[in-house]
Amino acid sequence: MLTNNIGKSNRIYIFFTLFYAYFVLALFECARGSFIPFFINDFSINNSSISIIISISQFGCVSGYFLAGNASQKYGQKFTFIIGTLLCSIVALSSLFLNNVVLLCLFYFLFTFGRSFLCISVDSIVPMVSFGYEVLFINLTHLMYGIGSFTGQKIYGNLLFNNVSWKSIYFVLGFVFLLSVVFVLFIKIPRARYIENKVEYNKKEFYKNPLLIIFIVCFALNAAGEGMMTTWFINYMSSSYNFTPLDTAKYSSIFFIAFSLGRLLGGFILHKIGTMKGLKIFMGMAAICVALGLVLKENGLIIMSIAGFFFSVTYPTLVVVISSTFKECSSLAIGTITTYNSLIYIGITMIIGFLNDAMGSYTTFYLTAIFMALALFLLIIIDKKTIKS
């Protein structure tokens, strides 16, 4: 078994590296939501333009996931991990040169390309080093993303309020990212078991599997729902209620505190009550909290913030479900599903930006609850089909 081939100290170091990588990744990614109002002001653009920038960055995600999934399957997770962390570091350090929208688009495109390599590596390494407790440990790993996001929101709200530029913040994060490159160089991933236990699989049969399409759409809808909260929540508050960066930071911080608690406790909850049952409950509650919060408007912001607890485990747990469903080619499955998920997400992002300008942020934000409800519906279908098979 895999657990017998990994020393205790090596296992601890691997998890330390994974935790650090996701913590720093969250510090970087959560900043975008705080920076959107400044992008709009600095470059004289609107919400539709922001959506185009995010959509272009998703093309980096698409190509990155496609290449990373195949590269990880062929060359191993350490190779893709190094590529991902190194590229993210270089991109972050280039932030001081972002003087126009074109460079900003290129900046996010290259970062999301590197991010894809990083995430594919982490999400496929965790099951290898936590045999029998995959759901628990992948949620603990993603807990660091929640902690990083919460930490970032508290810091960025104060820095921006005190006129520290978003370029300087990204630049400093580049140096923080560089440490993850150093850590990755010294990890020893149990590649031997991956090769010895390799099972032949038919790629044509894999791509013809009807579950693949359902997973792609479910994954995309879930990502869209979570993306609305992590990317557009601050913009929703500032445009709908004229909140300052300090005001928005308060609620976004609560969201990420709840998000972190969900990552901490969610794995234990799912391990106790069952992965699929728990995932359905969390998706349903996320949709309900957002819908209720919108109905209550400004008084409902706290409820929407608490929804972070329920959003927290949906993505990492879906990754585990994918890995367990496509055991023989988990890296390829994760890469394929996330690639097509990103393509769908691009279209959704474009629509969101257009609707924000055409209908207003408040009305558009109802899509968050709709996305999660539809993702829940598809998850129920997946559960029924996997039980039958």
Domain annotation for the chain: domains and CATH numbers? 2-388 (1.20.1250.20)
CB-based burial, 117-136: b 16+ in 10 Å, e otherwise: bbbbbbbbbbbbbbeeebbb
Per-residue pLDDT at 192 = 41
Per-residue pLDDT at 322 = 85
Per-residue pLDDT at 200 = 54
Per-residue pLDDT at 21 = 92
Per-residue pLDDT at 205 = 74
Confirm if 322 and 330 have CB atoms less than 8 A apart.
yes
Per-residue pLDDT at 317 = 87
Per-residue pLDDT at 303 = 97
Output the CA–CA distances (angstroms, integers) from residue 188 to 20, 84, 97, 330, 370, in the order listed: 16, 17, 36, 20, 43
Per-residue pLDDT at 217 = 92
Give the residue ranges of the chain where pLDDT is below 70. 1-6, 131-135, 190-202, 328, 330-331, 387-389
Per-residue pLDDT at 145 = 81
In the chain, what's the furthest Cα-to-Cα distance?
A: 59
